[in-house]
Structure 1
Amino acid sequence: MRWQNSVRVVTIAATLLLTSTAAQAQNAEQTPVAANGILSVCGKTLCNGSGVPVQLRGMSTHGLQWYSQCVNDQSLDALAQDWQADVLRISMYIQEGGYEEDPARFTEMVDQYVEEASERGLYAIIDWHMLDPGDPYYNLDRAKTFFTEMAKRHKDKTNVLYEIANEPSGVDWARIKSYAEELIPVIRAADPDSVVLVGTRAWSSLGVSDGADEREVVDNPVNAENILYTFHFYAASHGTEYLDALSRAADQLPMFVTEFGTQEATGDGGDDFGMAEQYIDLMAAKNISWTNWNYSDDARSGAVFKEGTCENGPYPGTGQLKPAGAWVRERVM
């Protein structure tokens, strides 16, 4: 399988950088990870092992407690080969029937999906999908246990990123920052080189959903290296105010959009492809990596597959995709 456009290499002087390893790999029989190696944060963007800026594009799973059946050999082959994705975000809820209920089961499940992504040469985001309650400190001890285990198991891999707080809410930025500064050293103790993704206030909106903006993070950043800050949006609910905040933030902070949809903030309802395209264009222009929500056959419009697809497939092509699925597949490709 030819891995065309495996990771999008962003250049300021493209003609000079076309000789880079990453650019050459665009026409080679290489997976995204083989082409780019271990990632790091360089300045305000994500860079590959050669120091060349890259933009990852891919998909997030739905909650593993509900839709693990959609993450299988055939669907992952389609994501890697047909969609030509770079990254899989593995979303493990903590409450809502997730990790809190059976830590051993969900630890093994996430581990399995990291291995599956690795076999296909995809980057893997281990998503600590805290949602309710929104205070990350509520699960601090659980997070330390889980990420200690994940970092030990995957410290020798070049493709693993750690997202330590999906959508903090109901707390101020200082508390989220404090949580990050307590948890990041736990990961670094076993895996000192991997990138860590830090959630922002008000459901990873940079505080916009609570009437704030990116300045609270710009003025008081997390005291850690090799990190990115996350931003989430749903195009039918989050218009120009959110788009402008992301744009301003990306000029001052390394950003990663780890979750977005073309629908309303519920992940359902009508699609606003026009606003979503504005976000896609901005993320391309400012080299912001992204994963779309979500790679499942949930009944909501934000799930890419039609209901019932995960039972038997097929997964390649557009025949089983909802409108949002066909739209995002094209943009991943």
Structure 2
Amino acid sequence: MRRTRRLLLLAGLVAAVAAVPATVVAQAAVAPAAATPTASFAKVSDWGSGWEGRYTITNGGSTALTSWRVQFDLPAGTTVGSHWNATLTSSGQRHTFGNLSWNGRIAPGASVTFGFIGAGPGAPNGCQLNGQPCGGGTGPTPTPTATPTGVPPTVPPGGRTPVAANGQLRVCGRQLCNAAGKAIQLRGMSTHGIQWYADCATPASLDVLAREWQADVLRISMYIQEGGYETDPRRFTDMVHDYIELATARGMYAIVDWHMLTPGDPNHNLERARTFFAEIADRHRAKNNVIYEIANEPNGDGVTWSTIKGYADQIIPVIRTRDADAVVLVGTPDWSSLGASGSGGGADVIAANPVSAGNVMYVFHFYAASHDDYYLDTVSRAAELLPLFVTEFGTQDYSGDGPNDFVMAQRYLDLFASRKISWVNWNFSDDFRSGAVFTEGTCAAGAFGGTARLKEAGLWIRDRIRTPDDF
């Protein structure tokens, strides 16, 4: 569970990440700015029955824009679904997107983006920005660089996405159940820290995760310290907004991971968590695919279950007043080991004094090369007392590196299958450690499809995610 992060990455990459606009996806190079503001459109993903569109508004003028409004027409039979980073009003086939309170001002030379999901043929036409021609126009639809040969842009086999098949999830007894009350198991991947590896979680890579790997769930790992949220709350909150929309567009569930690690007391970030979860829950309250993980790995001396419960009892109401139905995941003592890695309290302690809310599950993490039968027995016994969700595991040691222990990892997965305990693997990146699924350089190359650029652990976990779901 305890992992040191590569500090050289932090030094080298924070500066690079800071230069990227506040969107999840790296943009193509923008031509020198025109003398007036422009709005340019691109289809960044297309799966046959639908597509993801993005407008980039660039202020090429010499004074700041204080607000913006983009209007365009869509052909008959083409509709707009979910959207993000903008307001939307529609009249027939004419659609008007406007700025939100936080992204209306665009300094000279700067850009903002908004996106939406379209269904049907065609693309926007007749675009106007603040009543004037958009200038950037509707360019040709680019081919996503990472859509691999042999991976058709369609929904997963069976014709229904995980969210379409299951709807709003809820906790029933000690199980995760779908809208019909059936106990289900979700399987998927976690991003690495989005401050370091945003280029590994893009529309193209998530197309592969959803359609080729047939994942049910994406865990969005937002660190709080280590160059994460505390350095730029607005930017990281916007990144999470975008990732939720990307997962939604692909029919996957989205776990919003408040990735607190150091300091290990979740109360250190209590006020930050209040602010963050209030905005996330408020904006996405109408969605049925968002799951909130409110404390990744509580740890350290004095961080007992009582400490964690006190934090959870303050954060869960922030979410519940905005999103009454979503499942909330609560970390457990000693790096979410259910107390197995220390003395913060195990499943019996938690069960005797649970959080003061319903629709809650408790988190377990393990790394197969470090966490042996004692940990396996711990989670097996805990499953008799608590609803569990494994939001992070690896086939290596607790650093996320070293040799893989696939035999031990399979024993865990067999237990989870028998108990219908959902799991998420760490991690969907090209980090140098053996726990990252892609070989180094994959994300910069955009070569996500197929198996040629997967590490040994990537091949192993891909095969296990792709096994048929029992929905």
* Aligned twin of 2:418: 285
* Aligned twin of 1:46: 176
* Aligned twin of 1:296: 429
Q: State the alpha-carbon separation in 2 of the partners of residues 104 and 65 from structure 1.
A: 13
* Aligned twin of 1:118: 248
User: Deviation of residue 317 (structure 1)?
Assistant: 1.8
Provide TM-score, normalisation by structure 2: 0.65
2:295 to 154, 159, 165: 165
Q: State the alpha-carbon separation in 1 of the partners of residues 434 and 156 from structure 2.
A: 33
Aligned partner of 2:384: which letter? D
Q: State the alpha-carbon separation in 2 of the partners of residues 86 and 248 from structure 1.
A: 26
* Aligned twin of 1:224: 357
Q: State the alpha-carbon separation in 2 of the partners of residues 213 and 151 from structure 1.
A: 29
How do 1:52-131 and structure 2 match up within 5 A? 52-131=182-261
Q: State the alpha-carbon separation in 2 of the partners of residues 40 and 228 from structure 1.
A: 10
Question: Quick one: structure 1 residues 26 and 219, their matched pair in 2 at CA, closer, same or farther if it must change by over 3 Å?
Answer: farther
Q: State the alpha-carbon separation in 1 of the partners of residues 453 and 213 from structure 2.
A: 13
Deviations 1:128-163 (A, max 9, x none): 000000000000000000000000010000000000
2:267 to 130, 137, 158: 137
Q: State the alpha-carbon separation in 2 of the partners of residues 80 and 268 from structure 1.
A: 25
* Aligned twin of 1:272: 405
Q: State the alpha-carbon separation in 2 of the partners of residues 92 and 217 from structure 1.
A: 26
Q: State the alpha-carbon separation in 2 of the partners of residues 187 and 118 from structure 1.
A: 19
Relative to total residues, which structure has the larger strand share, 1 or 2?
2
Deviations 1:106-144 (A, max 9, x none): 000000000000000000000000000000000000000
* Aligned twin of 1:13: none
Deviations 1:293-330 (A, max 9, x none): 00000000000000000012321221110000000000
Aligned partner of 2:376: which letter? L
Secondary structure (helix, strand or coil) at the match of 1:54 reads: coil
Secondary structure (helix, strand or coil) at the match of 2:231 reads: coil
User: Deviation of residue 223 (structure 1)?
Assistant: 1.6
Q: State the alpha-carbon separation in 2 of the partners of residues 216 and 323 from structure 1.
A: 38
* Aligned twin of 2:307: 175
Aligned partner of 2:211: which letter? Q
* Aligned twin of 1:151: 281
Q: State the alpha-carbon separation in 2 of the partners of residues 26 and 270 from structure 1.
A: 32
Matched, 1:189 2:340: no
Question: Quick one: structure 1 residues 117 and 173, their matched pair in 2 at CA, closer, same or farther if it must change by over 3 Å?
Answer: same
Q: State the alpha-carbon separation in 2 of the partners of residues 81 and 314 from structure 1.
A: 15
* Aligned twin of 1:203: 335
Matched, 1:307 2:437: no
Secondary structure (helix, strand or coil) at the match of 1:66 reads: coil
User: Deviation of residue 214 (structure 1)?
Assistant: 2.0
* Aligned twin of 1:20: none
Provide TM-score, normalisation by structure 1: 0.91
Q: State the alpha-carbon separation in 2 of the partners of residues 166 and 40 from structure 1.
A: 20
Q: State the alpha-carbon separation in 1 of the partners of residues 353 and 394 from structure 2.
A: 29
Q: State the alpha-carbon separation in 1 of the partners of residues 208 and 440 from structure 2.
A: 17
Q: Is the 8 A contact 2:156 2:210 kept in 1?
A: no
Secondary structure (helix, strand or coil) at the match of 2:195 reads: helix
Secondary structure (helix, strand or coil) at the match of 1:190 reads: coil
Q: Is the 8 A contact 2:348 2:385 kept in 1?
A: no
Q: State the alpha-carbon separation in 1 of the partners of residues 449 and 423 from structure 2.
A: 21
Aligned partner of 1:216: which letter? V
Rg comparison, structure with higher value = 2
Matched, 1:249 2:379: no
User: Deviation of residue 26 (structure 1)?
Assistant: 9.3
Aligned partner of 2:381: which letter? R
Q: State the alpha-carbon separation in 1 of the partners of residues 196 and 435 from structure 2.
A: 15
Deviations 1:234-290 (A, max 9, x none): 000000000001001111100000000000000000000000000000000011000
Secondary structure (helix, strand or coil) at the match of 2:450 reads: coil
Q: State the alpha-carbon separation in 2 of the partners of residues 279 and 73 from structure 1.
A: 31
Aligned CA RMSD, in angstroms, stands at 1.4
Relative to total residues, which structure has the larger helix share, 1 or 2?
1
Q: State the alpha-carbon separation in 1 of the partners of residues 369 and 417 from structure 2.
A: 20
Secondary structure (helix, strand or coil) at the match of 2:197 reads: helix
